[in-house]
Structure 1
């Protein structure tokens, strides 16, 4: 072997090893090939081995010096872009629930969470070990605490190429969050907090929808000071005697009031007087949730889902959201086309406001007239995202959230949004998924001593729900005999009335139309809920006031 040959081979070996030793701890490492012994190459760099991440995008390599890209023009090119992504992207939250599984599609995507449902076993989830007790009153407080935590900051600084700014996504954020990210050199890939706050108002949503040709249930926007004024406004607008009154902000039905008598008014007047309100005609409606992403090429509309609301076995809050179902019969083809057009019109109007990215809309279907109305706008990633990202449309193309990422990555694209929406409408009949958010419904306040493991469960020969195997997410579920449970509170944590115990995801439906009208949980759903609750036990507290921490799953 000549000296020239030695020089041409040895540097390549050293470069590969150096790249491996500086990779982040959770990044997969491709080992340098072993050179034949006869080449006699000496390399003193220490050998580095890591456990590979069992997600699809984790195995993709990224070019070290990629040339300037031409615009991405189809979904295949979008897939390739994210499988070779070299910019760290982090989802931050109390749990990774909303975007769990996105790491299968996006290289360098990780989760930073307060609660670790896998007890350190998930290769893309990081949770700080030192968490002194404190009460969080909002999701924003959770996220801001995580961003400022020294363990989190140290973790995020590892292996970042010089000049690269990590991308940060989350559900809850505020102006303080924006300031923290600016100071630390992170890119918060979300619309401004001030814009989100403005659009979060039910009054603003109604006005924008009217301007865009996406009407709400017949209503009037006004202020009222007493019962007589409420009646007068309703009569002038032709809304009838059965009314629904909403104040601008609030979730889980907590600021929606059903008023048909003066006694109803007296019960809720303190929450209404002095505020702008939306007074609506009360209709027999079927609520439907849908997520969408506003891109520079138009609005991509995700699958339509029904909601699980107010079930006493799942939540102590009357009218509170506690899950979703996606199935072919959510909307017939005519209603789906109407609803899709309504969402796209509102998306176009939001673009004029400077908004871009992910949003969720509650659509109301009048079961008496078949009219489709705009309900509420949630300008954020939502609790329905978990199902949206495992649909047949997502696997045929890419998960909906990747269109949001495109808007905030350093890449140009020119996609045929009309074609994507048409294809996703056709695929809407191909999948059935359901999820339940299981809250503590009793008045118990306990320190938990036994809790269920996060992972895949199934029904055994006796019909019992048993743990089968560890799992990173619910993407591998095959049929209704299986379920994935994401634990939130573990041993040593506390539970109280209203606390979120965990999320159960499964194939198949969990609610049916009831004989009295409306819907009811299926026998299977009730059995799953009882089976999960049976895995929890704890010791009652003498001083229950010191147990509460707020996760706030409703607004997910």
Structure 2
């Protein structure tokens, strides 16, 4: 059994011991980067053919289903299941020398069925661990309490029993309401007033599907009501292996940044990470490592393996970590964290996720690997969304690559293109920033709050309070959004019917 102790060992192990073809699967090719500098023959299957894909495929093999379609889209849902189920994908995989391992963001029941029928290995946690179990905030809250881990003080309550005055008296203002199965923005609400309450109730009783709002019956739903904890929002990445639980260092999340995500969408809106600013006390780090170890041990006992993430809120005064949720899948930190780990000389935690799903015969000392993966890190990422509240069409094509800010003739910040690039390794200085991930051709279409792209930097982007963007990061976000020159689309619903290839599903 080969022991892996560092990045060189890891690369050698894959080269000499792994014969199974390994392919990342994502909506965009960028989404499944992260292993290209570890595996010599890593490939990617993607749905969209975004502008940075043209750069990526110069370095590794990419099958993009929409290549050559311009601004049109395949009339199927915008997810990895569509990629795996497509006839071209099946034909492509049938020509490989042996059945592959496929690495998606998360599994679906249809994806599991397709992989089983074709003899492909799916490197994702089974759907039984998802919305009904670990990803369900109410269920996970009960698991935490059984493990002696503190979520924010609160309760699980029937939606029919919600009452503003009762909760205000019990928890004070603000307090928090959460839907157990929805992510931040769609299901998390900070209640500061009766107006916030009314808005939250309206949003809780509706949900978005294919860009439209439909009503949802909550009569049988249990919600979470809890005290609002004032503080920053760290998170940690864990990985269940046969040798024990691995984990990275704590990282700050960027939450509710109005220049990145329209605040009218809701509360708890995930906008990115800042690793450069992620310096925590030994006591706070110890809390995080104890929690991820307990959760990982519990997950392992349930048959779980691979990547999972835990989100926290760090109470300002007491410096106590409260667990807010768990994500039993790949995370929004990928692929950026894998890029940073590789550049930092660490063993990327994503590689151990793959080894576990391969069933590879390898050995590690978890304590040594954890020490390596918990090194101080550099870099940040910000997710930029359509802020216009309407369907929009970009009047300008934004090149993927390295930029710097400069003052225009009118005194406003503009973006100066420096050189092409698509990954963290292409950044050279802390004055630069990189635009990548899903940059589409001119006259493409974006639904309200749809992601426009991802901004990477070598330095930090959070201010000293670790909760808001620094002035430099704010300038980057504003200039980047302006560069798309989004123009509202009139009669979007009619356009979806007449030209479904343009306004794609999802």
Normalised by the size of structure 2, how large is the TM-score? Answer: 0.83
Partner of 2:128: 194
Q: 2: distance between equivalents of 1:436 and 1:257?
A: 22
CA-to-partner distance for each residue in 1:37-73, whole Å, 9 max, x for gaps?
A: xxxxxxxxxxxxxxxxxxxxxxxxxxxxxxxxx2435
SS in 2 for 1:432: coil
Question: Which of residues 28, 45, 50 is equivalent to 1:95?
Answer: 28
Residue of structure 1 in register with 2:424 after alignment = 474
Of the three residues 377, 381, 396, the one matched with 2:345 is 396
* Other-structure match for 1:3: none
Moved more, 253-262 or 370-379: 253-262
SS class of match (2:362): coil
Query: By how many angstroms is 1:187 displaced?
Result: 1.1
Give 1:509 shift.
1.6
Q: CA RMSD in A?
A: 2.9
Q: How far apart, CA to CA, are the structure 1 residues paired with 2:197 and 2:486? A: 42
Please say if 1:113 is aligned against 2:59. no
Cα deviation digits, residues 128-153 of structure 1 (max 9, x gap): 2366645655xxx5222211223223
Q: Does 1:436 align with 2:382?
A: yes
Quickly say closer, same or farther: Cα 1:454–1:411, change in 2 above 3 A. same
Higher RCO structure, 1 or 2 (CA under 8 Å, sep 6+): 2
1:174 aligned residue (104, 108, 124): 108
Aligned ranges 1:381-392 → 2 under 5 Å: 381-391=330-340
C-alpha distance in structure 1 between counterparts of 2:261 and 2:430, whole Å = 23
Q: Give the Å deviation of 1:245.
A: 2.5
8 Å CA contact retained: 1:432, 1:507: yes
Contact kept, 8 Å, 2:422 with 2:436, in 1: the verdict is no
Q: Is 1:372 aligned to 2:372, yes or no? A: no
Partner of 2:85: 148
How far 1:253 moved relative to its partner? Answer: 3.1
Q: Residues of 2 paired with 1:497 and 1:485: CA distance?
A: 20
Partner of 1:312: 258
Go from structure 1 to structure 2 and tell me whether the alpha carbon gap of 1:326 and 1:73 turns closer, same or farther (over 3 Å shift). Answer: closer
CA 537–212 in structure 1, closer or farther in 2 if over 3 Å, else same: same
Q: Do the aligned residues in 2 keep the contact of 1:326 with 1:432 (CA within 8 Å)?
A: yes
Question: Among residues 329, 333, 355, which one is paired with 2:304 in the alignment?
Answer: 355
Number of the residue aligned with 1:9: none
Deviation string for 1:211-236 (max 9, x for gaps)? Answer: 2232212222343533569838985x
**Shift of residue 335, structure 1, vs aligned partner:** 0.3
Determine the C-alpha separation between the residues in 1 that align with 2:304 and 2:233: 25
Q: Is the 8 A contact 1:360 1:378 kept in 2?
A: yes
Q: Deviations over 1:6-64 (max 9, x none)?
A: xxxxxxxxxxxxxxxxxxxxxxxxxxxxxxxxxxxxxxxxxxxxxxxxxxxxxxxxxxx
After superposition, give the CA deviation of every residue in 1:216-273 in whole Å (9 maximum; x if it has no partner): 12222343533569838985xxx56653232211012321233467776555457365
> Which residue of 2 is the match for residue 60 of structure 1?
none
Question: In 2, Cα distance between the equivalents of 1:393 and 1:146?
Answer: 28
Give the deviation of 1:410 after TM superposition.
Answer: 4.2
Distance 1:201 1:99 in 2: 25
Q: Deviations over 1:291-326 (max 9, x none)?
A: 111111111111322122222221123332111111
**Contact 1:445–1:540 at 8 Å: present in 2 too?**
yes
2:448 to 493, 497, 521: 497
Cα offsets for 1:93-137 (capped at 9, x unmatched): 111344424211112211111222335342322212366645655
Name the CA distance, whole Å, in 1 between partners of 2:422 and 2:200.
45
SS state of the match for residue 104, structure 1? coil
Whether the 8 Å contact between 1:223 and 1:277 is mirrored in structure 2 is yes
Are residues 1:74 and 2:20 paired?
Answer: no
C-alpha change, 1:519 and 1:183, in structure 2 (3 Å) is same
Task: Classify 1:527/1:348 alpha carbon distance in 2 versus 1 (closer, same or farther; 3 Å).
Answer: same
Indicate conservation of the 8 Å contact 2:252/2:278, yes or no. no
Q: Distance in 2 between matches of 1:461 and 1:267?
A: 40
Q: Structure 1's 203 and 230: CA in aligned 2 closer, same or farther, altered over 3 A?
A: farther
* 1:275 corresponds to which of 188, 201, 221: 221
Task: Answer yes or no: is the 8 Å Cα contact 1:245–1:278 preserved in 2.
Answer: yes
TM-score, scaled to structure 1: 0.76
Q: How does 1:533-544 map to 2 (within 5 A)?
A: 533-537=481-485, 541-544=489-492
Instruction: State the 1:503 CA deviation.
Output: 0.6
Q: 1:173 Cα deviation (Å)?
A: 2.7
Q: How far, CA to CA, are the matches of 2:333 and 2:94 in structure 1?
A: 31
Is the Cα–Cα contact under 8 Å of residues 259 and 265 in structure 1 kept in the other structure? yes
CA distance in 2, matches of 1:374, 1:243: 16
Contiguous gaps of at least 5 residues in structure 1: 1-69, 552-556
